[in-house]
Structure 1
């Protein structure tokens, strides 16, 4: 099954990053209002967008590698660089948590899609 090349795949990545940011804000008692979420999310969403461009994700949006890996690494690296540039804080513990959670989210849905697609094709 060939995934359709629609913006829905980019939307899944955007939602994954937004969920990561919302969870982070909630865990730090910062509230999840639209303005606060946007402030937290824009550096990571910038990284996600760059990852999509670099990997040409629209060609194989559901591919775990290289698409998913590039989008994930770009999300974290660009997100952290932009946070550092704007004095938003980039503690090592945060880098580790952000890398882990975004990895689970951005790679996880692709892995699940791949497994489901393989199961369907073997039936």
Structure 2
């Protein structure tokens, strides 16, 4: 593995882990709010469409921005990851027979935006505070 590739992976792997954890938390909160049973199995069934969308967003962003890729940028990384997580997630829910009520799409879009864009905004703010001008 080329050294620059290893450095890039080290740089974006924590961001990918944060995104995955936040998508799983989003799904867990949703299941908990509806008192749904089968904790782990149910969570996996709920999460896989959104995690698939997250993977599509990450792959697209890395492919499109290659050397300029920055996992912590809100634009384009955060927006593309959020959009694909939501859209691909909802499409896969439809295909798999899971619900996609309009109110759910709005709530999911809002919560995923707060999670996937919010942590990036906080990370940028912290980086600016730590970096002397």
Please confirm whether the aligned pair reaches a TM-score higher than 0.5, indicating the same fold.
yes
Aligned to 1:5, the other structure's residue is in SS state: helix
Whether contact under 8 Å (2:90, 2:105) holds in the other structure is yes
Name the counterpart of 2:126: 116
Show structure 1 runs of 4+ deviating over 4 A: none
Shift in Å, 1:32: 6.5
- Supply the distance in 1 between the matched residues of 2:128 and 2:38 (Cα, whole angstroms): 37
Q: Structure 1: give runs of 5+ residues left out of the alignment.
A: none
Larger radius of gyration: 2
CA pair 113-32 structure 1, distance change in 2 beyond 3 A: farther
Give the number of equivalent residue pairs: 121
Whether contact under 8 Å (1:25, 1:32) holds in the other structure is no
- Supply the distance in 2 between the matched residues of 1:88 and 1:7 (Cα, whole angstroms): 30
Structure 1 or 2: larger helix share?
A: 2
1:62-104 residue CA offsets vs partner (Å, 9 max, x unmatched): 1111000000000000000000111101000000000000000
- Supply the distance in 2 between the matched residues of 1:47 and 1:115 (Cα, whole angstroms): 27
Compute the TM-score of the two structures, normalised by the length of structure 2.
Answer: 0.85
